[in-house]
Amino acid sequence: MVQPKYIFITGGVVSSLGKGIASSSIANLLECRGLRVTLQKLDPYLNIDPGTMSPFQHGEVFVTDDGAETDLDLGHYERFTHAVLTRANNATSGSIYERILAKERRGDYLGKTVQVIPHVTGAIREQIEKVSTEHIDVVLTEIGGTVGDIESLPFIEAIRQVRQQVGRRGCVFVHVTLVPFIAAAGELKTKPTQHSVKELRALGIQPDILVCRTESGFSREIREKIASFCDVDRDAVIAARDVDTVYQVPLEFAEQRVDDIVLDRLRLKAGPRNLEPWSEMVHRLRTPQDKVKIAVVGKYVDYEDSYKSLKEALLHGGLAHRLDVDVGWIEAEGITGETCAGQLDRYDGILVPGGFGIRGIEGMIEAIRYARENNVPYFGICLGMQTMVIEFLRNVCGVPDANSAEFDPEATDRVFLKLRELKGVEDLGGTMRVGAWPCRLEEGSFAQRAYATDRISERHRHRYEFNRPEYEEIITRHGMRITGETPEVDYVEICELPDHPWFLGCQFHPEFKSKPLEPQPLFTAFVGASYERRRRHGKSSAQQEAEQFLRLPGSRPRRANALNVVPAWTEEDS
Ligand code: GLN
């Protein structure tokens, strides 16, 4: 087997420097030169996976085709490349220790002392090997956390061992650091970078490339200073400026020839760089012809990262039409029958995203009712599909107690049930349906027209299913259609109101498969329908702006702002 080459990405100084975007951008450039890449995230924390972590703490849980609940960086990896990611592409200290401890209990270590070195480091290396297949030219492994953290030590040691094994031409170390600007002194500071590199070197790793986050770039002198103090080649000190869109980062890296540096260090041959489609996409993003306003009525709207893929998918949907998608993030809990119209009437489309727990459900139902009654395009995702069906049953079909067993286990009309109750299968009780499932679409439906095919596959992450045996007849009699279902087990995947301009709910999460160069069809269709409404209503952007300006401040939607997190996390929200 041909051994792939490795790129290891570590971070220093502070967290949130965008290691995920840096890794994705390098991978993107290598793909643009015809190489086959994969990306992997190794997280030092002790949770087995992010599946049970709060969206307020950790942001979105990204889901792969094979049903792994992973770190949201895997979402970036997929959006920036064509890498096919699986369970093996994300691991945590927790998952590594779990494996080792299970082996220890089985007696696999034959009485030996089980230690961090060699056992934990060995298991980390096995994890890296898992994604190192013969179909891959370069494996990019990102180490979560910051160098110097106690829990990241075994990971740093493991990648040092890999270097020992594959040699200096077999791998490249990229270290992402910060070059802050101290306003009072009017100076950029290189000391944090120097210290961070010193820390890394003390652990046996000399970085080959430094990606230095900086507000607006730095001079040649600063570059030379960093190069000399950190013993890195001058051209390998990369200035990663703040940019208006993350999709700009590969272009910035290309300008500084990061791909050439990597290829040179790895002695890899590759074709010329074809960044044309990507830079055309970034150009389109920057030059929208008009805009469309979408309200997202959800539960975790104050924390930007909790709907990461959704936010990107909406942007991609806009890209497809060359529209700027202006998203209003509205806390569902703050919506009532009285306030609803005032909060929502400036929007061209309404979306209710996924979520867990009862908080905010009634507000979502009010928003959906508003969309249905006022012919506003509606897109419900997972929880947003469930609330859409419940709203329809309550307000159209005359079933006032319609509910999901998740929100009221004792409800008289339980329209969504756990698999166990629905199918009478014990072992599936409580577990999630997670990962890719096939779905068959009904000819002529909104979904089938959007996808332009009748067979699709989308990713799931949910527990409750539509109680088809009891409620299919009544909803279809009143005009709702089931337009998507799993071919074999007939789970309901999509519901629509055909007499509405665009009204669709899906049980899966289409946002996980959207990419800037391949916008997800349902998002494209939803944004298109919303724009259609905007045009028909004939309001120019200027008119709408003026109307919005005149509105009372009390009805303004809250904006995503990481610093403004409401401690609304409850046990039911996962
Ligand atoms: N809470 C719902 C369920 O478990 C919806 C989940 C989701 O939106 N991802 O079925």
Q: pLDDT tens-digit profile of 67-87? A: 999 999 999 999 999 999 999
Residues 29 and 57 placed together within one structural domain of the fold: yes
pLDDT at residue 542 is higher than 70: no
Residues 377 and 508 placed together within one structural domain of the fold: yes
Q: How far does the centroid of ligand 1 lie from the alpha carbon of residue 355, in Å?
A: 6
Q: How far does the centroid of ligand 1 lie from the alpha carbon of residue 463, in Å?
A: 6
Q: What is the C-alpha separation between 471 and 309, in angstroms, rounded?
A: 32
Q: State how many domains the chain has.
A: 3
Compute the average pLDDT of residues 161-184: 95
Q: How far does the centroid of ligand 1 lie from the alpha carbon of residue 507, in Å?
A: 8
Compute the average pLDDT of residues 229-257: 96
Look up the CATH number of the domain holding residue 508.
Answer: 3.40.50.880
Q: pTM here?
A: 0.90
Report the pLDDT value the prediction gives residue 276, as an integer from 0 to 100: 95
Residues 566 and 512 placed together within one structural domain of the fold: no
Look up the CATH number of the domain holding residue 19.
Answer: 3.40.50.300
pLDDT at residue 558 is higher than 70: no
Q: Which residue has the tokens 């329908």?
A: 529
* CA 488 and chain centroid, separation: 29
Mean pLDDT score across all residues of the chain: 90
Q: What is the pLDDT of residues 97-119, one digit of tens each?
A: 999 999 999 999 999 999 999 99
Active-site residues, by number, are 382, 509, 511
Residues 303 and 348 placed together within one structural domain of the fold: yes
Residues 386 and 466 placed together within one structural domain of the fold: yes
Residues 275 and 310 placed together within one structural domain of the fold: no
State the burial class of residue 264 (Cβ atoms within 10 Å of its Cβ: 0-12, 13-18, 19+).
middle
Residues 123 and 248 placed together within one structural domain of the fold: yes
Contacts of 137 (CB under 8 A, 6+ apart): 4, 5, 30, 35, 36, 37, 268
Point out the domain boundary residue: 223, 251, 280: 280
Residues 438 and 399 placed together within one structural domain of the fold: yes
Residues 306 and 430 placed together within one structural domain of the fold: yes
Q: What is the C-alpha separation between 492 and 486, in angstroms, rounded?
A: 7
Residues 270 and 406 placed together within one structural domain of the fold: no
> Before 118, cis peptide (omega within 30)?
yes
Residues 194 and 298 placed together within one structural domain of the fold: no
Q: What is the C-alpha separation between 254 and 244, in angstroms, rounded?
A: 17
Candidate from 464, 491, 492, 511 with most ligand 1 atoms within 8 A of CB, to mutate: 464
Give the model's confidence band at 141: pLDDT under 50 very low, under 70 low, under 90 confident, else very high: very high
Q: What is the pLDDT of residues 419-451, one digit of tens each?
A: 766 665 554 445 789 999 999 999 999 999 999
Report the pLDDT value the prediction gives residue 368, as an integer from 0 to 100: 97
Question: 481 is in which domain, residue-wise?
Answer: 288-536
Residues 487 and 554 placed together within one structural domain of the fold: no
Point out the domain boundary residue: 280, 299, 320: 280
